[in-house]
Structure 1
């Protein structure tokens, strides 16, 4: 697990962390996690869930990653952390196609993508877990996309 000193910085703040949580595929399992976070005033910013017969993998972006690490450790919640790229889009219909074309030209593969639940700066944003985030950051920044950091997402 990364400590605050080990977290990579973008040009204007820390990179965004994605928590992957393994849950039993049962009614109310996700609610239990959300309650734990809400009790500590942590807000869910992005969320995607993939289920199988017995379990579910929930990926979360939160307002306070350090607090979530402590909460999950305290409550023995199994999780992993990965750094992701969050890209702001001004006009989704145009920007999404262009963004995907940029990643294709750079030969960057998308492992997981999902929209955020909130709209930072009043604009849509897409969370991307990529095989080469640094290349994607460079290419997308060069094309005029704003790459958001954790400070942009935290309240």
Structure 2
């Protein structure tokens, strides 16, 4: 996303239950303290980091973030000239059993839904483990997971 892009506004695709969870992906220089500076910047703007995934290379680190206020975070990144992208992700609450993850994966496999990446959240809104998934056919996948008994969370469930 270009530094001049505007945050997503509400649209007809947002359902009555809420809007999809949006992940911010930030590209940082791979140097000591860069992640701390990013988290502190968000905290200084009263934006909580709810989940993150870090993938580094020799020169850059790719940080995937779920935050309490994605629109506000995007504005901060635009103001500070921080390169980033934003995309919807599927977030599900797992059941508190050891078979919950295999059941979710089995439901997705049965529906032939591909998982691009996944990571857990740092918070547990319903006191159960929470998993972020980037899926092809996200709307279809959310239906499949809901039919399999999993709660699909919306941004409002996380932002409190």
Q: Distance in 1 between matches of 2:97 and 2:14?
A: 27
Kept after mapping to 2: 8 A contact 1:14/1:151 = yes
Query: How many equivalent pairs are there?
Result: 155
Kept after mapping to 1: 8 A contact 2:7/2:75 = no
Q: Indicate which of 133, 136, 143 corresponds to 1:138.
A: 143
Deviations 1:20-59 (A, max 9, x none): 1001111011111111100011000010000111111000
Normalised by the length of structure 1, the TM-score is 0.95
- Is 1:126 the counterpart of 2:126? The answer is no
Provide the alpha-carbon RMSD of the alignment: 1.3
Shift in Å, 1:11: 4.5
- Aligned partner of residue 86 in structure 2, secondary structure: strand
Which structure 1 residue ranges, 5 or more long, are not aligned?
none
Shift in Å, 1:3: 2.5
Q: Distance in 1 between matches of 2:12 and 2:123?
A: 23
Q: Distance in 1 between matches of 2:13 and 2:20?
A: 6
Q: Which residue of 2 aligns with 1:35?
A: 40
Deviations 1:69-103 (A, max 9, x none): 11000000000001000000122411100000111
Counting only pairs closer than 5 Å after superposition, residues 64-83 of structure 1 correspond to structure 2 as: 64-83=69-88
Shift in Å, 1:5: 2.4
Normalised by the length of structure 2, the TM-score is 0.92
Runs of 4+ with >3 A deviation: none
